[in-house]
A = this chain, B = another copy of it.
Amino acid sequence: MSTEVVKIENGDSLPEKRRIEEPEDGAALKRIQTPVAQGDSVGRKVIVPTCAPKLHYTPLKTGLCYDVRMRYHAKIFTSYFEYIDPHPEDPRRIYRVYKILAENGLINDPTLSGLDDIGNLMLKIPVREATDEEILQVHSKEHLEFIEKTSKMTRDQLLKETETGDSVYFNNDSYFSAKLPCGGVIEACKAVVEGRVKNALAVVRPPGHHAEPEAAGGFCLFSNVAVAAQTMLKSYPESVRRILILDWDVHHGNGTQKAFYNDDRVLYISLHRFELGRYYPGTINGQYDQTGEGKGEGFNCNITWPVAGVGDAEYMLAFEQVVMPMAREFQPDLVIVSSGFDAADGDTIGQCHVTPSCYGHMTHMLKSLARGNICVALEGGYDLDSIARSALSVTKVLIGEPPDELPEPTKDPKLEAIEMIDKVIHIQSKYWKCFKRKYGNAGCNFSEPVTDSIVSKNFPLQTAIRQEQFHQLSRENGFVELPIEKLEIPDDSILCSSDLYERSTIIILVHNTPEIWAKRDAITGAIDPASSVIVDSPLDVIKWALDRRYGVIDINIPQSLFEQDNFSAVVTSQEVVLYLWDHYIKYIPSLSRVAFVGVGDAYAGIVHLLGHRDTRAIVKAVISFVGRKQLRPLVPLVDESLSDWYFKNSLVFTDKNHPCWAENENKKPRKKYGRVLRCETDGLNSNMEERFEEATDFILDSFEEWSDSD
């Protein structure tokens, strides 16, 4: 037997001396069966005495604010109709949330009367009236006095205030009832900050986030969350230096925003539907470019949905790309969620589709901030079942459950939402490092600032591209420019075959600047010119026309992606095409047949011409590739029958996912748009590739010619 100086394992020490035996008959070495007491490096046994778990969060309960007295604030009914269809800000809202928590065993309160001891998971936080001093941290004296007055008003006075108010109602209990949610949210935040509960849910009404310092509004009397936030900042200046208020109510929290617009201690992030003047509150303050003022500049973030129907995909995208990076950079000490559930699936006021599991996921993500110090306060939410389900999901995550899986995790977010989130990041990149990487400074995908001197050294890409197109066409096909000074467009906007005046058949293309497909540097965002290509699909049409010995006119209308509906480019297209027709095309001597091919927004010019002039003697076919752009209706100013003629002699190809197909699968767009057909692909270039033969055959057919393949 050989021995080796090897220490046998002994806790923190290396394995100590053991004998390695040469096996006899292949028998395995006997193993040490009994675990050895663990020891440290000098052989002393280490004892780690049992101690209380060093956990600050898990042993605590989740706080709950609820009080039946918040149900007293109610609308005075003036008709029996209001029994059947009551005001949405209904006293039952908080009751339904409380009930579903009980039904799921999260609280024990069989009669749902609001007991103090509600079990092992949640801790009742007593609700009290907010003091005048607390309320005056946010509101003006006048506003407080006004709300106080309502407690003594007559019925007629109350009805009058309800009538003239900005979507509010009052009864004699309103003043008292409105101080309760205020005090409730304060106490809930306090319990979280003081470590008595790990997090909290404040099931309160009336809501608060629309109440501005000087005015009630939108069912809100006092700004509960704002008052609570101010109180925390004031009472715990050491431990609460920064607060994140995350407002996922489907309406903009104008009151909260106003309360902290100049304050850098509070980061206000709101996700809401925004339609200026049309969706409550609808003021400009809710726009995504409102980023704060003075000290508070950079600490306000409005993520606005321009359409209804957003849901999990959009909210998860916003959280991933905007909310969480910004919140992590802000490093809040406390998170307060203005938790309206009116974006929930089923809420007819919100008209959105956020599922309970999505609220759960968002809560789970927010829990990773501020060491889990989060207080969720009810705001809006008007479908009783929806708010109950959603609140349950949030509460379970607060207690410690993982969120349920999203029902449709692979659904794509709406394009409008993607665009909007991009705009938000762009605007916020001025203030937040996490977005600078994506957006550099001042409006460009670039890490360098776009100073004036840099801008003066530049020239537009568009010019370079059209010139290159011209050189190619000139070189290979003898094309020439057709400059029209009167129209104030670049000389190379209109190019045509040199023998145009001798042709009897002409193809006229009207299109915008071709697209650039570019690879970008991941870091700087710079475009790599060496590998970028300019994709010029109309070129196929030109080649086909030249092969058939037709004349060709190619009209390029420069466009902007960033202009609203590309308005000026459309107007230019209309002017150019009309002018060309009136002053040139009509006068081509032996001209007998014309086909138009429009690509992109520029096709508006063709439709404009066809409505303003009777071109039927010469124009035989109109092909348009619209992509994702707006459809243009023919407005028959010359003769009513133009509409019919346009429908019979046109093909209008759209992207597969063009909005015109969204509403109603069976319903086709109306005839005034021409014969609209839906491609299998998305993207102008793919569309053109897919339908090239169909389009050219259609033209030949209208010319009463046949393709070579027939």
A57-100, CB under 8 A of B: which get 1 and which 0?
A: 11000000000110110101100000100100011100110010
Residues of B within 8 A of A614 (CB): none
| CB <8 Å contact, A108 and B50 | yes
Cα(A661)–Cα(B69), bound, Å: 66
Q: Which residue of B370, B396, B399, B518 contacts A518 across the interface (Cβ within 8 Å)? A: B518
Q: Please name 5 further chain A to chain B contacts, defined as beta carbons within 8 Å, in addition to the given A320-B324, A527-B527, A530-B559, sorted by A numbering.
A: A55-B121, A460-B532, A461-B527, A465-B529, A524-B683
Residues of B within 8 A of A464 (CB): 461, 464-465, 467-468, 534
| CB <8 Å contact, A412 and B400 | no
A441-475, CB under 8 A of B: which get 1 and which 0?
A: 00111111111011101111111110110011000
Residues of B within 8 A of A277 (CB): none
Q: Which residue of B58, B361, B453 contacts A400 across the interface (Cβ within 8 Å)? A: B58
The segment from A33-41, A284-292, A496-504 that touches chain B is: A33-41
Q: A38-B113, A68-B35, A460-B533 are in contact. Are A105 and B54 (CB under 8 A)?
A: yes
Q: Smallest CB-CB separation from A445: which chain B residue? A: B520
Considering only residues 99-125 of chain A, those with a C-beta below 8 Å from chain B are 99, 102-106, 108-114, 119, 121
Whether A406 sits at the interface, judged by CB under 8 Å, is yes
Q: Smallest CB-CB separation from A471: which chain B residue? A: B467
Q: How many copies does the complex hold?
A: 2
Residues of B within 8 A of A588 (CB): none
Whether A349 sits at the interface, judged by CB under 8 Å, is no
| CB <8 Å contact, A448 and B55 | no
| CB <8 Å contact, A48 and B461 | no
Cα(A161)–Cα(B443), bound, Å: 62
A491-531, CB under 8 A of B: which get 1 and which 0?
A: 00000000000000000000001111111111110111111
Name 7 interchain pairs, CB-CB below 8 A, sorted by A: A22-B154, A38-B68, A316-B328, A329-B409, A370-B405, A460-B530, A515-B526
A10-52, CB under 8 A of B: which get 1 and which 0?
A: 0111110000101100101101100111100000011111111
Q: Smallest CB-CB separation from A682: which chain B residue? A: B447
Whether A680 sits at the interface, judged by CB under 8 Å, is no
Considering only residues 304-336 of chain A, those with a C-beta below 8 Å from chain B are 316, 320, 324-325, 328-329, 331
| CB <8 Å contact, A526 and B530 | no
Residues of B within 8 A of A71 (CB): 9, 15
Whether A270 sits at the interface, judged by CB under 8 Å, is no
| CB <8 Å contact, B561 and A521 | yes
Q: Which residue of B105, B405, B409 contacts A52 across the interface (Cβ within 8 Å)? A: B105
Q: Which residue of B5, B12, B83, B95 contacts A96 across the interface (Cβ within 8 Å)? A: B12
Q: A121-B53, A467-B468 are in contact. Are A48 and B103 (CB under 8 A)?
A: yes
| CB <8 Å contact, A685 and B415 | no
Q: A57-B400, A532-B460, A561-B526 are in contact. Are A49 and B110 (CB under 8 A)?
A: yes
A416-455, CB under 8 A of B: which get 1 and which 0?
A: 0011011100000000011001000001111111110111
> What's the nearest-Cβ distance from chain B to residue A140, in Å?
22
The segment from A130-138, A221-229, A536-544, A604-612 that touches chain B is: A536-544
Q: Smallest CB-CB separation from A403: which chain B residue? A: B368
Q: A15-B71, A104-B54, A464-B534 are in contact. Are A448 and B685 (CB under 8 A)?
A: yes
Q: A53-B121, A91-B9, A400-B58 are in contact. Are A152 and B23 (CB under 8 A)?
A: yes
> What's the nearest-Cβ distance from chain B to residue A446, in Å?
5
| CB <8 Å contact, B29 and A560 | no
| CB <8 Å contact, A12 and B92 | yes
Residues of B within 8 A of A58 (CB): 121, 399-401
> What's the nearest-Cβ distance from chain B to residue A474, in Å?
13
Considering only residues 214-258 of chain A, those with a C-beta below 8 Å from chain B are none
| CB <8 Å contact, A458 and B365 | no
Whether A364 sits at the interface, judged by CB under 8 Å, is yes
Cα(A445)–Cα(B370), bound, Å: 37
Residues of B within 8 A of A513 (CB): 529-530
A533-560, CB under 8 A of B: which get 1 and which 0?
A: 1111101100000000000000000111
> What's the nearest-Cβ distance from chain B to residue A336, in Å?
16
| CB <8 Å contact, B113 and A28 | no
| CB <8 Å contact, B560 and A528 | yes
> What's the nearest-Cβ distance from chain B to residue A573, in Å?
14
Cα(A77)–Cα(B562), bound, Å: 71
> What's the nearest-Cβ distance from chain B to residue A556, in Å?
11
| CB <8 Å contact, A539 and B324 | no
Q: A399-B58, A447-B682, A457-B540 are in contact. Are A37 and B111 (CB under 8 A)?
A: yes
Q: Which residue of B444, B447, B468 contacts A463 across the interface (Cβ within 8 Å)? A: B468
Whether A367 sits at the interface, judged by CB under 8 Å, is yes
Residues of B within 8 A of A467 (CB): 464, 467-468, 471
Whether A2 sits at the interface, judged by CB under 8 Å, is yes
| CB <8 Å contact, A537 and B689 | no
Closest A-B pairs by Cβ, 3 of them: A372-B402, A422-B522, A448-B683
| CB <8 Å contact, B531 and A457 | no
Q: A15-B71, A320-B320 are in contact. Are A401 and B457 (CB under 8 A)?
A: no
| CB <8 Å contact, A560 and B531 | yes
Residues of B within 8 A of A462 (CB): 529-530, 532
Residues of B within 8 A of A77 (CB): 4-6
Cα(A458)–Cα(B531), bound, Å: 11
Residues of B within 8 A of A703 (CB): none
Q: A462-B529, A526-B561, A530-B513 are in contact. Are A47 and B110 (CB under 8 A)?
A: yes
| CB <8 Å contact, B517 and A4 | no
Q: Smallest CB-CB separation from A177: which chain B residue? A: B31
Q: A329-B409, A401-B56, A529-B460 are in contact. Are A518 and B105 (CB under 8 A)?
A: no
Task: Tell me which of A36, A331, A370, A465 has the highest count of chain B C-beta atoms within 10 A of its own C-beta.
Answer: A465
Cα(A172)–Cα(B30), bound, Å: 10
Residues of B within 8 A of A372 (CB): 401-402
Residues of B within 8 A of A400 (CB): 55, 57-58, 400
A370-388, CB under 8 A of B: which get 1 and which 0?
A: 1110000000000000000
Whether A410 sits at the interface, judged by CB under 8 Å, is yes
